[in-house]
Amino acid sequence: AEEGAQLYLQDWEEREEVIEKLATRIRAENGVEVAVGVWDITLGKQTLAMTEDVLEKCGRIDILVNTAMEGGHGILFDIREPEWDLCIDRGLKSYFLTCQYIGEEMARTGYGKIINITSIVGKMGSAGSVPWGACRGGVDALTYGLAQSLGEYGVRCVGLARGATDSTPYTEEARNARIAKIPFKRLGTERDITGPAVFLATAESDWITGSVVYADAGYAHAA
């Protein structure tokens, strides 16, 4: 929004009030157009309908940022099948479907940027979040494949792996343990993630595709 982009925000039905408030705030602070849609992007028909709605309201799609996620946290022996399914459906299947439908539209126009927000646990794994690590690892692999499939159409696809940030509700012990492993000795901020995302959405990064960029202050390598 600060760069002047027209936005379309999507979220699950139970979070409609949240994104409506966010859209109102963005309009007031940045003066850009913001459309909102409530869709279940774990379903192909809904994802197709969302894509059509974006085109109707915005005219074209230049940038797709996938940020969907859902749970998957807990000790391995306590994770139940429905929790696994929800984590994979919302955090991986939804990425596939949005990339499939919106990627096809980008291919038709000959240009596009897909940014899949992922996590360092896709590389490192996590004993306390086994489904989440598997989900983010799947997003990484999906990103590599999409870049190869869509490159000939002028569509770039990159992953942006988040490290530990201050938006996560850590216990004090967990927070201190993470800070101790980060070379900068602090957690990441919202700006530490949005800055790289904006760069990856611009023409300055057109030669980058099929990569996962780590915005983690070196945590994945230092841990």
For 158-216, write each residue's pLDDT tens digit: 999 999 899 888 889 889 988 999 999 999 999 999 999 999 999 999 999 999 999 99
Residues recorded for the chain: 223
pLDDT tens figures, 63-79: 999 998 887 777 888 88
Closest CA relative to residue 196, chosen from 141, 120, 84, 115: 115
pLDDT for the residue numbered 185: 94
pTM of the model: 0.94
- Across 94-111, average pLDDT: 98
Interhelix angle 130-150/81-88, nearest 10 degrees: 30
Distances from the Cα of 49 to the Cα of 40, 66, 100, 144, angstroms: 10, 17, 13, 26
Please state which of the ranges 27-36, 37-46, 108-117, 163-172 shows the lowest mean pLDDT.
163-172
The pLDDT assigned to 78 comes to 86
Residue written as tokens 């992953």?
A: 159
- Mark 187-202 as b/e (b = at least 16 C-beta within 10 Å): bbeeebbeebbbebbe
- Helix, strand, coil: what percent of the chain each, to 5? 55, 15, 30
What is the per-residue pLDDT for 223? 55
- The tens digit of pLDDT for each residue in 114-160 reads 999 999 989 988 888 899 999 999 999 999 999 999 999 999 999 99
pLDDT at 103: 98
Instruction: For the chain, give the mean pLDDT.
Output: 94
